[in-house]
Amino acid sequence: MKKYLMGLSIFAMSLAVEAGTKSASGTVSLTASTGRIIVELTGSGNTTCGDGLRYAFTPSTDYNRVLLSMLLAAQISGKRILVNGQGECLTEYPYSSAYILANMKIINE
């Protein structure tokens, strides 16, 4: 299972790089709103769209539920993460200037 998840993560990151993603890194803070998980990053100095580093997704697929588990682990442990987003900056509620989360990686420092 671990090899499967690692392979899935590497595959998704390679797809995201080819698709012209919006990348950022930092420590994570999660919130939930209307069935969506909002990921906000701090401590990187990067900006994505609007005034902050926000990404959003819905935990409706197995892949997105794995992302949620990884994000929760990173938040609890205070680890930095690298994320890639896709699409246009979504400014309407509940996104508040966010990209759709494509994939992520926990940075082991």
Cβ(31)–Cβ(40) under 8 Å?
Answer: yes
Q: Does pLDDT of 94 surpass 90?
A: no
CB 21: neighbour CB atoms within 10 A? 20
Q: Are 86 and 99 in contact (CB under 8 A)?
A: yes
Please tell me the predicted confidence (pLDDT) of residue 27: 92
pLDDT in tens, 31-45: 998 999 999 998 765
**What secondary structure letter does DSSP report for 19?**
T
Q: pLDDT tens digits for 65-89?
A: 999 999 999 999 999 999 999 888 8
Task: Report the percent of the chain where pLDDT is more than 90.
Answer: 46
CA distance 20 to 107: 21
| Count of C-beta atoms within a 10 Å radius of residue 80 | 18
Question: Are 82 and 105 contacting, i.e. CB atoms less than 8 angstroms apart?
Answer: yes
Mean pLDDT over all residues of the chain?
80
